[in-house]
Chain A
Amino acid sequence: MTIVKASMAGTVWKVLVSEGEQVAADQDVVILESMKMEIPIAAEEAGTVKRIIIAEGDFINVDDDLMEIE
C-alpha cells in the first residue's frame, strides 16, 4: 500500500478519482490550490484507490496524507 501525500500546503481543489477506482502510475489523483495556482498530485504507483482521506475544500499541510492506494 502507498500513501499519496501533499507536496505542499494548500486547499484541496479537486479529487479526480473515487474509492475503488484503478489508477496508473503518474496519474493525477488530486488537484491542490495553493497561492492561486493549481498543483496536480499524482499517484506514484499503479493500484486501486482504497481510501480517500481528504475532501474537496479541505485545507491541508505539506506531507499530509491524501489517499491510500493498494
Chain B
Amino acid sequence: MRRLLVHSSLRHLGRHPWLTALSLLGIALGVAVVVSIDLASGSALRAFERSTDAVAGRATHQLVGGTSGLSEDVYRDLRLRPGAPVSAPVVEGYVQAAVGDLRTLTVLGVDPFAEGPFRDYARGEAVGDVGQLLTRPGTVLLSERAARALGVSAGGELPVRVEGRQVVLRVAALLAPADEDTARALEALVLTDISTAQEVLGKEGRLTRVDLRLPGGEAEAKRLEATLPQGVELLRAAARAGTVEQMTRAFRTNLTALSLLALVVGMFLIYNTMTFSVVQRRGMLGRLRAVGITRGELFALVLGEALVLGVIGTVAGVLLGILLGRGLVGLVTQTLNDLYFVVSVRRLALEPLTLAKGLTLGLGATLLAALVPAWEAARSAPVTTLRRSTLEEGSRSRAPRLALLGLGVLGLGVVLLAWSTQALLPAYAGLFAVLLGAALLVPWLTERLSSLATGPLGGAFGLLGRMAARGVRTSLSRTAVALAALMVAVATTVGVGLMVSSFRGTVVSWLETSLQADVFISPPSLVARRGDATLAPGLAERLRATPGVAGSSTIRVVKARANDIPTDLLVVDFSRTGARPYRFKEGDAATVWRELDASPDTLIVSEPFGFHRNVGVGDTVRLATDEGPHDFRIVGVYFDYGSDVGTMLMPRATYERWYDDRGVSGVALYAAPGQDVDALVTAARERVGDTQALMVRPNRSLRQASLDVFDRTFTITQVLRLLAIGVAFVGVLSALMSLQMERARELAVMRATGLTPGQLWGLVSLQTGLLGLLAGLFSLPLGVGLAYILVHVINRRSFGWTLRLVVTPETLVQAMLLALVASALAGLYPAWRMARANPALALREE
C-alpha cells in the first residue's frame, strides 16, 4: 500500500515537470541566497581572523601604547630587567603591492631572535638567504604562494606602495609554510626584520606592540602591569580577537536578514506548489481516503513529497550558494575593506556548519510550508475531498478570519518593533511578523477587491472581464497564495530600495555640510572610509602656505583605544579657519566649540559612537593616551555617516597635549575670495611635487569619490535585492502558471462551448494582469512600511544612524512594473498552451 502511495506521488510530480522544476528552482534560489551570503561574509571574517592569528601567534598578552604604538625603549627595558617575561617586538602595517594582482600586504616586522616562542610559520623551511634580513635594509621573506601570485622570486624585487611612497623591497627567501592554514595566512604577508619594517612603514623608534607570554596568568600580568611606564598598557591577547567580530556584527546580521527574506519568498513558493498538488489530486486523495488510507498516511504522503522536493532543491541551493558565494565574496570583502579593516580574501572558506545551516533552513522551510497543505489533504472527509468547490468555499469563508489573524500578527509585529530595546532580534521578528500579517490579509483583500473589479472590468471587456475578475475570486485558495508571494517579494525590493535611497539622500546632504573646504589633500589609504595614512613631515605646512589659501585645517585620523576598544579618533586643527563643518545631534554648536577649545579634557563623539557605547553629552570616555589612561568629557554628539562603529573628534591642541604623535593625515584648504579652485589644485600639486603621491582633490571630486564608496558599500545590498526579485519572479511564474494549468479543464469547457483561442488568451492575460496589479498595489504600502522599519528600527539599532526616510516615486513605479511584467510573462505560457490544446483531450479525466 505504501509503495502504491509513493508511486502515485512520484507520478504526480512527474506529470507536471515544469511546475516541479520551478518549485525546485524556488527552493534552490532561496537557499542559495542564504548560503552564499553566509559563506561570503564568513570567508571574509575567517580570512581576517587567520591573518590576525598568524600575526598574533601564541602570545597570551600584549603591550600596547597610544596612537603611535609604543617606544622601542619600553621593549629594551623589559628585556634587560631581571626575570623578564618571554617577549617579542612587533611592527605591523600595510602596504600595497605594485606588481602582480596589486594585493594588500601585511608587513610583519619581527625580531628573529625573539620569535621562536610566538609564531610558527617562521620555523618552516625557507629557501634563500635569511641572514640578509638583518644586514640588508629592505630585505623581506614571502610565502611561495604569495611570491607566485606577485610574480617575484627569491632574490627578486618587490615594489610596494606605502602612503603614496613607492618602496622597493628585496625578497631574500621564500617560505614554504608547513600546513594549509599557515599557507593561507601567509598569502598576504610580508615577513621582515623589525628594522626594515620600521623603515618601510616610517615607524622608526616605535613598535606596534610587544607580544608576551605570561604563563603565570593574571597574577603575573598584574605584577608586570604595576611596573610598566606611563602610557603602556597590558592587554590580554584574546580580548583583541573579538573586536573584529563585534565591529562587523551588525553589518553581517543585516546581510543575513536580507538573505532570509529571499528564503521567505521561497517558502511561499513551496506552499504554493504543495497546495497546488493537493488541490490537483483532490479526487485521487478522496478515493484514497475512501479505500481506507488514514489521515495520518495522507499527511505523511504530502509531507514526504515536500521532503523529496526539499532535499533536491536544498542540495541544488547549497551548490548554487557556493557558486554565488564565490561571486559575492569579492563584494563583501570590498565592503568590509571600505568600512572596517584591510583584509584580502583569496577563496571561499567552506565551513561545514554553514552548509549544514543551509540544508536545515531549506528543509525546514519546505516542511513548514507544506504543513498547511498536508493538513488540508488529511483533514477533508472522503466525499468532500472530491469537490473543488468545497475547498474554495472554505477558502472564502476563512478569508475574513485569516484577515483578522493577520491583523493580530501585524499588531504583534508593531509591538515587537516598538519595544524599546537595542536588540536586533526582536526587530527582525517584528519585521517578519509584519510580512506574515500582511500575507494573511491578502485573501480577504483579494476577494473584496476582485469583487469590486468585476464591475469596471466587465464594463471594459464585457463577459471576459467579469469572468477574469470572478475567476480570481473563485479560485481564492490559489490566487491568494500567489498574490502573497508576489507581494512579499515586491515589497522587499521596495523596502530595501527605499532604504538605500533614503540613506544615500542623507549622506548626500551630510556631505554638503561636512565638505566645505575647496581642496582636500591626503595620501591614498587602504581602507576607503578611514584616511589614516600620514603626510610626509613638513608637507602639511607647505601646503597650507600655498598662495591663494584663505584658511586651512588639518586632520589626523588614528586608532585610539576608547574604553579598551580600538576606535577612530579624528584630530582636527581648526586654528586657521572659522569653518566648523559639523552638525550636532546633542549640544549647541557654539557652546561645544567653546568648550573644546577651553579644556584639554573634552572631545565630541559621532552619533553611532554614542549609540553603541550608550553615552551622550556629559558622559566620559576613557582613552589610552601616551600619558596613560585619561577620562575625556563628551561635550557634543555630531552627525557622521562615515563610520558605522563611531568616531571621536578632538582639537589638535588637545591631541598634542596627550599624545606624542605629530602626524597629519589630510589637509583641507579654503580658497581666498576670487581664487580659482582649479588653479589652487594645480598649485597644491606643484607644492607636493615628487615628495609623496598624494590625492589632491577639489571639493566636488571628493564628494563624488565619497559617494562612489558609499554606493560600493551598498552594492551587495543591491545584489541581494536583485536576487530577491529573481526568487519572486520565479514564484509568481510558478504560482500563476499552476493556477492557469489547473484550470485546464475549465478552459477546455469554455473552448468547447465556443471561446476562440484569442478570447482565451485575453481571459488568461486579463486574469494574471489583474493579479499583478493587485500584487503591485498590495506591495506598495507594505514596501513603504518595510522601508520605515529598515530605516528607523533596523538601521538605528544596528548602527545608530538618524536617517531621513524619503519615498522616491521611481522605486514605487519600478515595483508596479515588476509586478505587472512578471504576471504578464507568467500568463503567456498557459495561455499559449490552452489556446493550442485540443479541448477534447483536455476534457478527458485524469
State whether these chains interact.
Answer: no
Q: Name A's B-contacting residues (CB within 8 A).
A: none
Residues of B that sit less than 8 Å from A by CB: none
